[in-house]
Amino acid sequence: MKQQQRQDTKMHKQVFNTLYLLRIVISNTRLYSLDHPKTKEMIAKTLSSLNKTLFTIRELTILIIDNDLIINNRAIRPEESDYFSLFITVLKQKNIGHVSFKRGLTMRELTLFLSDLSSKSATTVYNGPGISSGKLGLKEDPHDNTPLHDPLLFSDGKGRNSRSDPELIAKLKSLSRKQLLLAQELYFSIKKDQNFDLRGVQDSMSSFVTLFSRNLNPLSLLTPLKSNDDYTFTHVINVCILTLAQAESLGFKDQNLYDIGITATLYDIGKGFIPEEVLNKAGALDPEEQEIVKEHSAKGAEYLLGIPEAPKLAVLAALEHHIHFDGGGYPNIGRSWKTNIVSQIIAVADTYDAMRCKRPYRRPSSEKLIRELLVRKKGKIFNPFLVDNFLSLLSRNKQ
C-alpha cells in the first residue's frame, strides 16, 4: 500500500513537471520565434519530460472542463491550478477541450503542435500519431465539416452515422448481458467470500469499448429490469453504459475509456457487503438501515484497494459516487475534498437510472421529472457542466 502511494506520488510529480514545462514552452513560443535557442532548448526539455512520462503511462490525456484541468481522469488540485491558467487559456482560445500525448511522440510533432498553439492566425492545431486534440462537446450536426478523425464524432470511420445500426446495437446488447452476468459473479464472490476474478469483466469490457466507440444512442442499450432481485446488477450495467456515453462525449478514449468502463462496473461493489434483507427491503429504510447502506461506499473502496487488477480510479469512484458536488453526501470526508471527474459522471448516471427504474417502494419517475431533478440539483449534488452535457447527449440521441 505505502509502496503504491509512493509510486503514485512520484508519477504525480513527473506529470506535474511535464505540464509545467509545457506551460513554460507555450510562454516562450508566444514571445520568441521557434528558431530562437531558448525556445528550442525548452521544447527539447518538454519532449524529454513527456517521453519519460509516456514510458510509464503510455498516454497523457488532458481535459478542460470549465476552468478545471483533468489529467488522466484526475483533477489538478486547486492549489496547483494557478500554475496552468495560461495553458488552459491558450487551449480555450483554440477551442481545444482535450489533448492526448502518446508514446512515440517526436520533436517534429511537438514543435508543429506548439507552433500552432502560439500562432495568432492558426485556426487549427497539428494532429498526428503522437498528438491528438479536439473540441470538448457534442457534435451538433452530423453533416458539418468537422474532420472525421475527431473522436467526438463516434463515426464508423467511413463517415456513416452508426446511431441506429441494428447489428451493432444487437452486439452491444449481447455484450452488456454478458457484463451483467459477470457483474453478478463478482458481487456474489463477496457474499461467498470467494476469490475476486476480474479477467472476464476485463475481456468483455475491452470488446464493449471497441464497439461502443460509435455515435449510438445509449438509451437503446439499457437493460430492462426483469425482477427486483436483479436490480443491483442491471442498474450497475446501465450506469456503466450511461457513464461510457458521457465519458466518450467529453473526449475520453482508448485506455482511459476502458478504465472508466471497468470503474463503472465496480463502483457499487460495496453493495455486496449489505445484508440482502436491507438491500431488497420492500418499504422505506429505518435510520439504522440507512446507516448500514451508507457504509457501502467506504467498504467498497477498501475492498478494491486489495484487488491489484482493479484500476485505482475504481477505488475513488467506489468511495466518492455519493459525495455531492458541493461536498455534502456521504461518506463525510470534508467539504474541501474534490471528487474525481469520473465519480461525478457516475453520480449523474446513477441517479438517472435509479429514478427511471421501478422499485418495491416507489414507481419509476418520468423522464420529465428526472430531468427537472438533475437541473434543480446542479451545483449542489451534481457538476452543472456534466448535467448539461448529459441532458444534451440524451436529447441529441433521441433526434
123 and 49 housed in the same domain:
yes
**Owning domain of residue 311:** 166-398
Instruction: Read off the pLDDT of each residue in 132-156 and give the average, rounded to a whole number.
Output: 41
Residue 189 pLDDT greater than 50, yes or no: yes
Asked if residue 171 and residue 23 are part of one domain, the reply reads no
Domain-embedded: residue 372: yes
Model pLDDT for residues 43-89, shown as the tens digit of each residue: 998 899 888 888 888 888 888 776 677 887 677 665 566 566 667 77
Q: DSSP state, 82?
A: G
Whether residues 187 and 124 fall in one domain = no
In a domain, 141, yes or no: no
Joined grid coordinates for residue 81:
491550478
Report the Cα 23 to chain-centroid distance in Å: 24
Q: Shortest CA distance to 100 belongs to which of 156, 149, 31, 28?
A: 149
Q: Give 327-356 as a DSSP string.
A: S-BSS---TT----HHHHHHHHHHHHHHHH
Domain-ending residue, one of 86, 119, 136 = 136
Residue carrying the nine cell digits 475492498: 303
* Angle separating helix axes 231-249 and 199-212, nearest 10 degrees: 40
Q: Is residue 91 part of a domain?
A: yes
CATH code of the domain containing 195: 1.10.3210.10
Taking the complete model, does pTM exceed 0.85, yes or no?
Answer: no
Domain boundary among 93, 119, 136: 136
Same domain, 122 and 218: no
Residues 129 and 188 in one domain: no
- The reply to whether 294 falls in a domain is yes
Count of CB atoms situated within 10 Å of the CB of 23 = 18
Report yes or no on 101 lying in a domain. yes
- Whether residue 84 is contained in a domain is answered as yes
Cα dist from 125 to 5, 28, 93, 150, whole Å: 36, 17, 11, 12
**In this model, does residue 160 exceed pLDDT 80?**
no
Same domain assignment for residues 106 and 207:
no
* pLDDT tens digits along 219-274: 888 877 655 556 777 888 899 999 999 998 888 888 888 899 999 999 999 988 88
In a domain, 121, yes or no: yes
Residue 318 located in a structural domain: yes
- How many domains does the chain divide into? 2
